[in-house]
Chain A
Amino acid sequence: GAGVSQSPSNKVTEKGKDVELRCDPISGHTALYWYRQSLGQGLEFLIYFQGNSAPDKSGLPSDRFSAERTGGSVSTLTIQRTQQEDSAVYLCASSPLVGTGPRETQYFGPGTRLLVL
């Protein structure tokens, strides 16, 4: 079946502009995650969704970052007033429902490469 898809695959924006990144999880996967991969910081967790709610937002680096999920499916990560340090690859993953801890395998999408000029 189809895996996790993300769009756009690449995004170039100017400092100060807002960007929206989209994630389509594997059908039926209740849990959805956003991570960020950058040269200086490695792979960092951003936010975890269970259905449409986000019980763990501990990784969002600032209030410029927000995410939502609708219909228990598609998720959008929004970065407002982008800064050059936001340049990174943003990865989305999904898994079946998470009980206690990440027992279920997380399936990752190909990522969106964001470059802020």
Chain B
Amino acid sequence: AQSVTQPDIHITVSEGASLELRCNYSYGATPYLFWYVQSPGQGLQLLLKYFSGDTLVQGIKGFEAEFKRSQSSFNLRKPSVHWSDAAEYFCAVGARSGNTGKLIFGQGTTLQVKP
């Protein structure tokens, strides 16, 4: 069955420190890959997505993610975290075939930023 695992439920980092949020997926083939962010009281917002080509993708707000096929991973990174990055982050996958736009989400990682 298709699934997405975000091993870290909660992460705390200091402002200015680097960040890496982990995401592993289980899928029959390479899916489409996404990272979304949900800030308190806000809707889900797309940070970045991977379809094909360069395995390092750049997104909004200074985030990037690297697709590693051999590890079935799509980890999210940011070199220097800002206090406004505190939010919940979701990794998601979508099928390349079939008549659906369905996304399968991980359980989410809550990021806390210390001043």
Kindly list chain B residues whose C-beta atoms are within 8 Å of the C-beta of A111. Answer: 43
Of all chain B residues, the one with the shortest Cβ separation from A50 is: B99
Q: Is the CB of A102 within 8 A of B97?
A: no
Whether A101 and B98, one on each chain, are in contact in the complex, defined by CB atoms closer than 8 angstroms, is: yes
Indicate if B10 sits at the interface (CB-CB under 8 A).
no
Which segment, of B14-22, B44-52, B72-80, faces chain A?
B44-52
Q: Is B103 an interface residue (CB 8 A)?
A: yes
B46 with A106: CB separation less than 8 A: yes
Residues of B within 8 A of A50 (CB): 99
Within 8 A of A (CB), among B95-114: 95-108
Contact with A along B74-93 (1 / 0, CB 8 A): 00000000000000001010
Name the one of A42, A55, A56, A109 contacting B106, with C-beta atoms under 8 angstroms. Answer: A42
Residues in B neighbouring A48, C-beta threshold 8 A: 100-102
* Chain A residues, CB < 8 A from B104: 45
Which of A58, A100, A106 sits near B103, CB closer than 8 Å? A106
Q: Does A70 contact B (CB under 8 A)?
A: no
CB distance from B26 to the nearest CB of A (A): 15
Q: Check A90 for interface membership: any CB of B closer than 8 A.
A: no
Does residue A18 face the partner (Cβ distance < 8 Å to B)? no
Are B95 and A101 touching (Cβ within 8 A)?
yes
CB-based contact A43/B99 at 8 Å: no
Shortest Cβ distance from residue B71 to the other chain A in the assembled complex, whole angstroms:
22
Query: A4 to chain B: closest CB distance in Å?
Result: 8
Using A42-B107, A101-B95, A105-B49 as known contacts, say yes or no to A91 and B101 having CB atoms under 8 A apart: no
- The 8 Å CB contact of A56, one of B44, B90, B99, B107, is B99
CA distance A105 to B46 in the complex (A): 7
Partner-B contacts on A (CB < 8 A): 3-4, 31, 33, 35, 42-45, 48, 50, 55-56, 58-59, 91, 93, 95, 98, 100-106, 108-111
